[in-house]
Amino acid sequence: QYKDYLTHMLEYLISFFQRTEPLQDLNRIFSK
């Protein structure tokens, strides 16, 4: 259940960054 919560939050953050930042910046953030 907790894992499902984290997965949902991660998807939310990804969709948020995709709306506000270029995909290249998103890849740079996750590559760290």
Assess whether pLDDT exceeds 70 at residue 15. yes
Cβ pair 26, 14 in contact under 8 A = yes
Average pLDDT of span 7-19:
86
- The predicted pLDDT at position 18 comes to 74
What does the alpha-carbon distance between residue 5 and residue 22 come to, in Å, rounded to a whole number? 26
Residue 4 has pLDDT above 90, yes or no: yes
Q: How confident is the model over 2-8, as a mean pLDDT?
A: 93
Helix (H, G, I), strand (E, B) or coil at 21: coil
* Token pair belonging to 31: 């590559």
Q: Report which of residues 30 and 26 the model is more confident about.
A: 30
Domains contained in the chain, number: 1
Domain boundaries, position 13? 1-32
